[in-house]
Amino acid sequence: VAELKDLLRARGQRVGGKKAELVERARAPGDDRGMTASSRSRTRAPASASASRRKPQNPKPPPRMRWDVTDPPLPPRAPRLDRALHPSKLTVLSWNVNSIRALLDKDPDILDEVAESEDADVVLLQETKLQTKHVPEMDARVLAKYPYRTWNCSTSRLGYSGTAMFLRREPTRPPWHDPFEMDEFEGEGRVVCAELPNVFVVGAYCPNSGEGLARLRARTESWDPRMAAYLTSLQASGDGGKPVVYCGDLNVANEPIDLWGNHAANSLASGYTPEERDSFKRLLLGPIGDGGAGLVDTFREAHGADAKAFTYFSYRAGARPRNRGWRIDYALVSESLRGEVHDAFIRGDVGGSDHCPIGVV
């Protein structure tokens, strides 16, 4: 506004009014009629003087799309499997993109590049924040090599939550959404499912317990038990059952090592409360016979109890450069697949969201 006024003042024009009026006046040709060359020079002088007093504005830095993780470094990756030698290989990639439109505005190719670099068979997204009416436009922009796809957009709150699934090969049956009663979370677009020849794949954006833990009870007493029961039912379906790969932003740091620090204070915050951690252990990792879904944390299976890596970094206080994060994104699999896990990874090198891509092979 100050610059606009300087410009108008230099032209000898009126400087009062709202910003929109100033802009319109500035866009119009200046009216120097009746002014001598010396008077024009004198009129413009305050503008340069004013400009010299103002500090130049620093341009906003470009978004950081690549990171070096060194303290500690990411766990080593397993050797890549040659698909020609391992035709039954299945790679599932999951990423909370924290608005797919915002992500693609930063780098329109990032999603395709990450999927290609992992040779992913299935790509799961969370927090797409996409409205149903925008799906055709977004469909045309991403993951062309994955023709079988579904978007589950939030309808209860537009531009909120949302999940999606992309498959390279045709599933046994078309993907489906939200397979159990959601109660408080109805219409938030939180679950996508598909059946492949050898496994079920389920992607989820688990509800955050929210500010003041307002949704903690609904999350631990409704969502968690129903999700666990559904995953158990999938494993029991068909002749002899079929295993499950369950991935997504599950919004809980299971063990102390899954949180950068400040554990006592964070135990009062969503994502690290005793109730959320107990629910995760008991209902997802607990044995099927004891009311759990009998799933295995593939990151811990592949890298051990002492491996430290995070999947989420708050945008506040420079958390990511200091590696102050949370591991709240998971790839869980049925117990019967425990021995089949070749690799479980966190792509801490990839930016663009406050979450990192994760996955399992």
Task: Give the active site residues.
Answer: 205, 355
Q: How far is CA 293 from the centre of its chain?
A: 25
Spatial strand order of the sheet with 358-360 comes to 148-152, 163-167, 122-126, 92-96, 358-360, 344-346
Q: b/e string for 13-41 if b means 16 or more Cβ within 10 A? A: eeeeeeeeebeebbeeeeeeeeeeeeeee
Q: What's the length of the chain?
A: 361
In angstroms, what CA-CA distances link 170 with 85, 135, 148, 167, 175?
Answer: 21, 20, 6, 7, 10
Which token pair is 125? 């997204």
For residue 349, give the 3-state DSSP assignment: coil
In angstroms, what CA-CA distances link 15 with 32, 296, 344?
Answer: 15, 68, 62
> Which amino acid belongs to residue 130?
L
Give the integer Cα–Cα distance in Å for 128 and 95: 10
Give the integer Cα–Cα distance in Å for 70 and 348: 10
First to last CA, the chain: 55
Which token pair is 67? 């990171």
